[in-house]
Amino acid sequence: MADPALYFNRELSQLDFNFRVLAQAQDEAVPLLERLRYLCISCTNLDEFFEIRAATVRHAQDFGMPGAPDGLAPSTVLRRIHERAASLVEAQYRCWNELLRPALNDAGVRILGRDKWNVRQKRWLRTYFRDEIMPVLSPLGLDPAHPFPKILNKSLNIVVVLKGKDAFGRSGHLAIVRAPRSLPRIIQLPERVSGGEHDFVFLSSVLSEFVDELFPGMQVKGAYQFRVTRNSELIVDEEEVENLALALRDELIGRGYLRAMRLEIAADCPKPIVRTLLENFELPENAVYRIDGAVNLNRVIQVYDLVQRPDLKFPPFQPRQLPGSDAMFELLAEDDLLLHHPFDAFTPVLELIRQAAEDPNVLAIKQTLYRTGKDSAIVEHLVQAARNGKDVTVVVELRARFDEEANLGLADRLQEAGVQVVYGVVGYKTHAKMLLIVRREGRRLCRYVHLGTGNYHSGTARAYTDLGLMTSDARIGEDVHQIFQQLSGLAPLIRLHHLLQSPFTLHAGILERIAREAAHARAGRPARIVAKMNALNEPQVVRALYAASQAGVTVDLIVRGACTLRPGVDGVSENIRVVSIVGRFLEHHRVYWFANDGRPDLYCASADWLERNLLHRVETCFPVLDPALAGRVREEALNNYLADNLNAWELQADGSYLKLAPGDEAMPHSAQSWLLAKLCG
């Protein structure tokens, strides 16, 4: 079980997920602007991969940290990352240049390169450059008095080769032009100028074309766009800081200038300039990516929003509304409710909090917030609840990656309104999704609970697949109450009735249930495990699944992204199947089902089967006790996805993914389309 050959590398597996996303951009059956969106998602994902995952490997290399079960040294992983990423970047730009850009042009959505501008367009763009762009630029010539400037993470820059002397008699050589974040990266041409309703140009093209106007009296010999991606993982020694919020604010100031991880530069940039940039950013040669197009290709996503062409997008849908949601407490007093987003509206969650804020019988509201989005209605309701005299406690996770700044502002806003804000537990991110409302009903206090697999974020509730359970079950309410007590105080280890909790009981609970299935199989009883999650890498869980397979347990795993388990190995994992679903919505729910000899257990969770989630975060895993609702979850989130033969990719024993297709006698089945038809009509 310790053989490194039985484990894939997590980083390389995560990187490969983006090839599956890119395949959606290459699929002619997908609406054209949606294909553009998938291309941009793959580019943005790659940015984040270098900012976090590759940076983590570099950190492991620098500090000699112990290796992963796959046995690969960090230096080897970094080399393979750059090799694989280079293939991905080449495929992305080939998709853009050869497929999407021509197809968009044919559909009347033109992203015009410099070689396509006519005289009138060029005249308008020159005026636009002089009026809107040039006033905010500060070109910097490189000489002993002007050393290489700090380059912000993922910012657009132009390196300019100059010849001649300036007004002070200084000889020109190299200059850097940085594009401020205030400038739009995509510029729409007026229809009266361009003749087309949807004509656009990249800011990088405009800068490259008119950069000579920034250096009057000098000759521009070349202008080459570049972009550097930096480590963005904030590291705060929580044991040593007295105030986590203040420490994070300090770290955020310098985040954009941390260690460089990757350099993207125009394909025609001369080698000496590339060497100069690599030396400045302290990068090896394999960390440079020569780009055939705009270095910030993901910015073309703006076109998706600017072009109102329903014929080029997925058909709109209306989420199913919950009848009677104007009286949430009455509904939950009768039955548990299950919400399957985005097919079910997020409205009942918002309504429950709003009604709790206004209800005079509600005494307290407790909630965890990891990501909320801008102008969150939930935050407004919590603020109103505090103003109405409710006892409101919110656990805000300040270290939610890339939302740190937003969450600091959120915490300030809540505290100003009188909400008690807790930052969780030192050393453990609070990733659990919990809402608890305490309401007086006659002589007793009742607890109403919402538990979810996704964030309290209205935007992601329309784009991610997630499950939410709403209940007034007293024992679940008691469990959630105890977890909140633990987060906000210094409560001892607690014994929960129904919930499993990281970092205490969830990991052991999963291992116990996997072992139970193996025992059933060895006793000759039918045994099966079906689990859906975003990623899988925890070594003990992987070994337990191998042992279950060897015992004869049928294991079906639906893992969207990274999976370090190797299926299909004779004598080890021949009973394990792994599929990844990539479709219209981002697959995000976590569901675990164990057959248990006819008495099945079904859990939903905020946690993936990752080492960080099971051992180093605060997570919740909750059972669906109502048999009818449990049946719904199994049908909609497990069986339905295992039947997908249109958007599913099956992981092979060699680490590659095979796109599934309907067989000769099989009906085509898309899990997400089936849910849209079933739940949204």
- Hey, which residues are catalytic here? 431
Counting Cα atoms < 13 Å in the Cβ hemisphere of 33 gives: 20
The helix (run of H) or strand (run of E) holding residue 158 is strand 157-163
Running DSSP on this structure, what letter comes out for residue 7? B
Q: Where are the alpha helices (DSSP H) in 359-473?
A: 377-387, 404-416
CA distance 580 to 24: 13
Which residue's structure tokens are 């297709």?
661
Binding site residues for ATP, as ranges? 45, 464, 560, 588
Q: Which residues pair with 366 in a beta bridge?
A: 393, 436
CB neighbours of residue 119 within 10 Å? 7
Task: Report helix angle 347-358 to 377-387, nearest 10.
Answer: 10
Tokens of 188: 């729409």
Residue numbers belonging to the annotated binding site? 45, 371, 401, 464, 560, 588
Is residue 373 within 8 Å of residue 402, measured between CB atoms? no
- The identity of residue 242, as a single letter, is E
Which positions make up the binding site for Mg(2+)?
A: 371, 401
Question: What is the C-alpha separation between 565 and 542, in angstroms, rounded?
Answer: 6
Rounded to 10 deg, the angle between the 539-551 and 506-522 helix axes is 10
SS (H, E, C) 261-292: EEEEEECCCCHHHHHHHHHHHCCCHHHEEEEC
Helices (H), 450-526: 474-488, 506-522
Contact 439, 448 (CB under 8 A): yes
Question: In which element (H, E) is residue 328 found?
Answer: helix 328-334
What is the C-alpha separation between 679 and 275, in angstroms, rounded? 56
